[in-house]
C-alpha cells in the first residue's frame, strides 16, 4: 500500500478532534491540530487571541508547524496517516478575515500534496465554544465555506463526512479512502 496522508478538515467545532481521538484509539497514526497549542501558548504570554491580534504571525506559525507535520508524516512507518487540518486551512482562515498573506503561503500549499481531504460540515447540535474557540456558529459556517473553497482552488475534491455517530463517520472515511 502506498503511503496516504489524509486531511480531516472543516470549520470550528465540527467534531474533528473527537474523530481523530477515536482514530488514535483504534490504532491509527494521527497528527493533532496545532492551532490550539499556538493559541494557548500565546495566552500564557498575555495575548488573548493571537489569530485576532496578529493573524499573519499566527498563520506563519501554523504554516511552519503543519509543514513539519507533513514532513514527519512522510517518515512514518504507517502507510495511513490522518492529520487534523492541512496547510490550505490557513488560506481559508485568512480569506475569511479578508487579510492578505505572502505568496509563499500558496506556494507551500501547492508543494505539500495530501492524498485525500475529508470535510466535516458545520453541525449546530454539537457546536460549542471554549477558551480557544471564540467563533459563534454563523462564523463557523462561513469559515467552513472558505476552508473548503481553499482546498478546491488547489485542485482537491473534499469529501463531506455525513453528520452521524463517530463510529459511522470513521467507517465512512475508511470506506472512502482511495486505493
| pLDDT (mean) for 38-51 | 81
Contact indicator for 120, 15 with CB cutoff of 8 Å: yes
Instruction: Give the chain's radius of gyration (CA, Å).
Output: 15
Rounded distance between C-alpha atoms, residue 169 and residue 10, angstroms: 14
What DSSP string describes 125-148?
A: TT----SS----HHHHHHHHHHHH
Q: Which residues pair with 96 in a beta bridge?
A: none
Q: What is the CATH number of the domain that holds 102?
A: 3.40.50.300
Task: Report in angstroms the alpha-carbon separations of 39 from 16, 81, 108.
Answer: 17, 24, 22
pLDDT at 84 over 60: yes
* 87: its cell numbers: 496547510
Higher-confidence residue: 23 or 128? Answer: 23
| pLDDT (mean) for 108-128 | 88
Global confidence as pTM: 0.90
User: Where in the sequence is the domain holding 61, given as residue range(s)?
Assistant: 4-176
pLDDT at 55 over 60: yes
Question: What average pLDDT is seen over the chain?
Answer: 89
Place of cell 499566527: 58
The total of structural domains in the chain comes to 1
Higher-confidence residue: 102 or 13? Answer: 102
Rounded distance between C-alpha atoms, residue 9 and residue 23, angstroms: 15
Contact indicator for 124, 15 with CB cutoff of 8 Å: no
pLDDT at 149 over 90: yes
pLDDT at 58 over 80: yes
Q: Where are the beta strands (DSSP E) in the chain?
A: 4-10, 29-31, 80-84, 116-120, 159-160
Rounded distance between C-alpha atoms, residue 130 and residue 133, angstroms: 5
pLDDT at 128 over 70: no
Write down the pLDDT at residue 79: 94
Amino acid at each position: 500500500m502506498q503511503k496516504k496522508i489524509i486531511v480531516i478538515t472543516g470549520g470550528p467545532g465540527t467534531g474533528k478532534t473527537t474523530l481523530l481521538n477515536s482514530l488514535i484509539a483504534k490504532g491509527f497514526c494521527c497528527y493533532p491540530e496545532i492551532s490550539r497549542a499556538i493559541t494557548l501558548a500565546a495566552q500564557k504570554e498575555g495575548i488573548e487571541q493571537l489569530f485576532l491580534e496578529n493573524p499573519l504571525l499566527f498563520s506563519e506559525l501554523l504554516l511552519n508547524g503543519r509543514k513539519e507535520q507533513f514532513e514527519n508524516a512522510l517518515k512514518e512507518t504507517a502507510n495511513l496517516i490522518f492529520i487534523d487540518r492541512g496547510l490550505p486551512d490557513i488560506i481559508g482562515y485568512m480569506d475569511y478575515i479578508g487579510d492578505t498573506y505572502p505568496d509563499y503561503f500558496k506556494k507551500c500549499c501547492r508543494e505539500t500534496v495530501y492524498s485525500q481531504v475529508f470535510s466535516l460540515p458545520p453541525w449546530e447540535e454539537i457546536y460549542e465554544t471554549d477558551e480557544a474557540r471564540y467563533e459563534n456558529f454563523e462564523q463557523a459556517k462561513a469559515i467552513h465555506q472558505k476552508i473548503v473553497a481553499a482546498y478546491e482552488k488547489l485542485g482537491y475534491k473534499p469529501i463531506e463526512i455525513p453528520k452521524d455517530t463517530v463510529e459511522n463517520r470513521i467507517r465512512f472515511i475508511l470506506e472512502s479512502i482511495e486505493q
